[in-house]
């Protein structure tokens, strides 16, 4: 069929663009009551995989609650919680091979820990005493980005490099609904599509960008619809359905690994708590709206599914809770110590060779501190 913009399509390429459009409703494989919903396109992951991933949900929830408590105790400077979004967090970690790369945001602490980075190293950033507590190269995990959407461009660059080197690395780049309004988001998607690089963009649509609701952010039919504008497939998935997330993200990763290019996945979820401890969410949304999402909780649904099929025993649950508690106490023990940051480190890794201005500032600070000591 003749395409007015592109001329004749290549053999085998569908003569419509419908394959790039997301499903009409988000893909769901397990409903909020824990029942399997059949979907021809996405097989349900194996029970053993779901049970192991559920264990990570339990730990993820415990990490969120522990970190929130540590903020109130003054041990963490800030904590953007992913309470209620743990299925997205766990799925993002589970679908990665060890050589793949993850590009997380400030809200994706649980994903980074679930990837295998020591929680204390991860929380160092939010404690406020170091740029990033872990080595990105060791874990193939970029530092958690606070400047919105910047990490998406970095992710595309890493995917491009992997492609040029002939590696089979796939890059998973995370962002929020609000970040899709940033210029960097659009540049990253366009670059990824044009250069056909192995990257999966994973948007957690939790309906808010601090106080800005989604309806003031975008009037696109869905955020996944943005993909077709760049010529890549988009898909929507229930972001509180761990099984659907594993299936949809897994398929996108596989596509990318096979050389079929980038895609955009939008997970529909909800930010159950305030943006951070510095935010009062009652100023802009009602408690009733929040309560509507309680029955859709990702943990209760996966638990109901697994219990219904006898894939989760009382012993399993005790073990999972114990494992989660061990992670929480590791975090408490580590953060309940006094940090002794060296203020001179502020200047240490800014440039390979220190500028005269930085040198002057470093000397001023040294002088100031020595006079306080005296």
Ligand X SMILES: Cc1ncc(C[n+]2csc(CCOP(=O)(O)OP(=O)(O)O)c2C)c(N)n1
The residues that are catalytic are: 271, 275, 284
Residues in CB range of 205: below 8 A, 6 or more apart: 176, 177, 214, 223, 239, 266, 267, 268, 269
Of 213, 199, 168, residue with least CA distance to 265: 199
Report how far residue 227's alpha carbon sits from residue 23's, in angstroms, rounded to the nearest whole number: 12
Nearer to ligand X, 86 or 177 (CB): 177
Nearer to ligand X, 115 or 163 (CB): 115
Q: Is 81 in the site for Mg ion (CB under 5 A)?
A: no
Greatest CA span in the chain, whole angstroms?
Answer: 82
Of 284, 224, 271, residue with least CA distance to 248: 224
CA quadruple 284, 289, 293, 295: dihedral positive or negative? positive
Residues that bind ligand X in the complex, under the rule CB under 6 A: 107, 146-148, 175-179, 206, 208-210, 271, 275
Site for Mg ion in 140-179 (CB under 5 A): 176-177
Give the residue carrying structure tokens 């962002």.
175
Report how far residue 15's alpha carbon sits from residue 9's, in angstroms, rounded to the nearest whole number: 7
Site for Mg ion in 173-192 (CB under 5 A): 176-177
In the structure encoding, which two tokens stand for residue 155, read together? 């992710």
Q: How far is the CB of 279 from Mg ion (least distance, A)?
A: 12
Q: Which does 147 bind (CB under 5 to 8 A by kind): ligand X, Mg ion, none?
A: ligand X
286 DSSP 8-state letter: -
Nearer to Mg ion, 119 or 176 (CB): 176
Total residues contacting Mg ion (rule CB under 5 A)? Answer: 4
Q: How far is the CB of 311 from ligand X (least distance, A)?
A: 31
Q: Is 206 in the site for Mg ion (CB under 5 A)?
A: yes
Q: Which does 146 bind (CB under 5 to 8 A by kind): ligand X, Mg ion, none?
A: ligand X
| Nearest residue to ligand X, by Cβ distance, number only | 176
Q: How far is the CB of 49 from ligand X (least distance, A)?
A: 26
Residues in CB range of 334: below 8 A, 6 or more apart: 119, 120, 123
Bridge partners of 263, per DSSP, are 200
Nearer to Mg ion, 206 or 263 (CB): 206
Q: How far is the CB of 181 from Mg ion (least distance, A)?
A: 11
**DSSP state string for 50-65:** HHHHHHHHHHHHHHHH
Nearer to ligand X, 179 or 232 (CB): 179
Q: How far is the CB of 150 from ligand X (least distance, A)?
A: 7
């Amino acid at each position: 069929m003749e395409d007015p913009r592109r001329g004749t399509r290549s053999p085998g390429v569908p003569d419509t663009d419908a394959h790039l459009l997301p499903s009409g409703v988000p893909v769901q494989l397990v409903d909020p009551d824990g029942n399997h919903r059949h979907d021809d396109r996405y097989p349900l992951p194996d029970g053993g995989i779901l049970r192991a991933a559920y264990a990570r949900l339990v730990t993820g929830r415990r990490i969120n609650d522990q970190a929130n408590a540590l903020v109130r105790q003054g041990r963490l400077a800030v904590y953007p919680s992913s309470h209620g979004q743990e299925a997205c967090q766990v799925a993002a970690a589970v679908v990665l091979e060890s050589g793949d790369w993850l590009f997380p945001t400030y809200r994706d602490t649980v994903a980074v820990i679930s990837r295998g980075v020591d929680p204390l190293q991860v929380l160092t950033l939010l404690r406020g005493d170091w740029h990033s507590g872990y080595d990105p190269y060791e874990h193939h995990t970029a530092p958690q980005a606070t400047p919105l959407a910047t990490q998406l461009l970095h992710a595309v660059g890493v995917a491009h490099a992997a492609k040029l080197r002939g590696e089979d690395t796939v890059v998973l780049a995370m962002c929020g609904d609000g970040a899709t309004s940033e210029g960097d988001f659009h540049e990253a998607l366009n670059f990824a599509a044009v250069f056909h690089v192995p990257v999966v963009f994973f948007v957690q649509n939790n309906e808010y960008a601090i106080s800005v609701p989604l309806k003031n952010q975008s009037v696109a039919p869905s955020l996944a619809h943005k993909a077709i504008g760049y010529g890549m497939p988009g898909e929507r998935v229930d972001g509180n359905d761990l099984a659907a997330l594993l299936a949809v993200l897994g398929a996108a990763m596989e596509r990318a690994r096979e050389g079929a290019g980038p895609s955009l996945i939008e997970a529909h979820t909800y930010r159950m708590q305030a943006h951070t401890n510095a935010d009062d969410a009652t100023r802009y949304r009602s408690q009733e709206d929040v309560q509507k999402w309680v029955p859709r909780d990702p943990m209760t649904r996966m638990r109901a599914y697994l219990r219904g099929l006898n894939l989760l025993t009382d012993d399993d649950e005790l073990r999972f809770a114990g494992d989660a508690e061990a992670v929480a106490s590791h975090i408490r023990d580590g953060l309940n110590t006094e940090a002794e940051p060296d203020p001179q480190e502020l200047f240490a890794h800014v440039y390979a060779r220190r500028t005269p201005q930085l040198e002057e500032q470093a000397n001023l600070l040294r002088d100031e501190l020595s006079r306080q000591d005296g």
